[in-house]
Amino acid sequence: MSDPLSRWRAHAEDAVLLDGFHALKHALRFGAEVPVAVTTDRVAALGLAQELAGDVREALDALLAEVSEQAYASLVPRPHPTGVAALAVRPSREANLRALAHRPRTAPVVVLDNPRNLGNAGAVIRLAAGFGATGVVTTGTLDPWHPTVVRGGAGLHFATAVERLGIADLPPGPLFALDPEGEDIRGTELPDDAVLAFGSERTGLSPELRARADHLLRLPMRPQVSSYNLATSVAMTLYHWSATGAREDAL
């Protein structure tokens, strides 16, 4: 086996950082190509795999190389409590675009319109993966593959298609945008090929996306409460989609 630090340096420029055991676990479960993985305690990491992720223990056994705590700290911006880190090959944009545009679609695409908070974006990707959504698209300047977003998504970027697109290039399908002036979502059954758009907590939907929406929907909310957290709004909407259609096959 070649030196893990040399392999890390060889892949670092173009790869996605998987920060922590759980991010690596999820990435492997969903088919990520992982050229290098390191840990400060190989026995402890494999023990964690035996306890929590037996399905990927064999893969981790073959991948994990033990390095010193000093070497590990030099590879990551903020050491993870599990002492595990890895690099994964980012899926090609072409493959993600094919997944987003494929019809018939069996689960919605989530659109975050000009999001600002990296952690919120990561939480949404984690939610989308959990509900079996087709993908998550961001508009605006935020990179959905930023290391902080990947950390917040716990490696589940590899479980769904994640891309940044312009509003004119959104995937096909009826566009349902969440807006305080919309109709109560409880009266609407969301189709499987829906595109579900959410604005930022501070500014809401952009005028361009709002104008393009086929339907405006609002979430039930007590009077005088200003808004939900973005990830909460996405979770409520995806739950409504899954519950009204009884779509166990997507989960």
Q: What is the DSSP letter of 124?
A: H
- Look at residue 92 in the predicted model and tell me its pLDDT: 95
3-state class of 113 per DSSP?
strand
Q: Are residues 58 and 108 in the same domain?
A: no
3-state class of 81 per DSSP?
coil
Q: What are phi and psi of 102, to 5 degrees?
A: -60, 135
Q: Are residues 234 and 129 in the same domain?
A: yes
Q: What are phi and psi of 3, to 5 degrees?
A: -60, 125
- Look at residue 226 in the predicted model and tell me its pLDDT: 77
Query: Of 88, 111, 127, which marks where a domain is finished?
Result: 88
CATH number of the domain enclosing 15: 3.30.1330.30
Side chain identity at residue 208, one-letter code? E
Render pLDDT for 104-124 as a digit per residue (tens, 0 to 9). 999 999 999 999 999 999 999
Where in the sequence is the domain holding 75, given as residue range(s)? 4-88
Q: Are residues 146 and 44 in the same domain?
A: no
Q: Are residues 198 and 100 in the same domain?
A: yes
Query: Of 47, 65, 88, which marks where a domain is finished?
Result: 88
The two structure tokens encoding residue 100: 């987003």
Residues of the chain under the 50 pLDDT cut? 1
- Look at residue 154 in the predicted model and tell me its pLDDT: 95
Return the biggest CA–CA distance within the chain: 62
Per-chain mean pLDDT for the chain: 93
Contacts of the segment 40-47: beta carbons below 8 A, 24+ positions apart: 40/66, 40/67, 40/68, 40/69, 40/72, 40/83, 41/66, 41/83, 42/66, 44/83, 45/21, 45/82, 45/83, 45/84
Q: Are residues 175 and 209 in the same domain?
A: yes
Q: Please state the domain count of the chain.
A: 2
3-state class of 100 per DSSP?
helix
The two structure tokens encoding residue 226: 């200003």
The two structure tokens encoding residue 175: 């566009």
CATH number of the domain enclosing 124: 3.40.1280.10
Render pLDDT for 40-65 as a digit per residue (tens, 0 to 9). 999 999 999 999 999 999 999 999 99
Q: Are residues 35 and 99 in the same domain?
A: no
Q: Are residues 113 and 80 in the same domain?
A: no
Q: Are residues 115 and 228 in the same domain?
A: yes
Q: Are residues 112 and 52 in the same domain?
A: no
Q: Are residues 42 and 76 in the same domain?
A: yes
Report the C-alpha gap between 31 and 203 in whole angstroms: 36
Q: Are residues 172 and 123 in the same domain?
A: yes
DSSP string, 190-248: PPTT-EEEEEBTTTBS-HHHHHH-SEEEE----TT-----HHHHHHHHHHHHHHHHT-G
Q: Are residues 69 and 110 in the same domain?
A: no
CA distances (Å), origin 210, targets 125, 178, 214: 22, 9, 9
Report the C-alpha gap between 93 and 216 in whole angstroms: 29
Query: Of 67, 88, 109, which marks where a domain is finished?
Result: 88
Q: pTM for the complete prediction?
A: 0.92
Dihedral sign, CA of 71, 76, 82, 87? negative
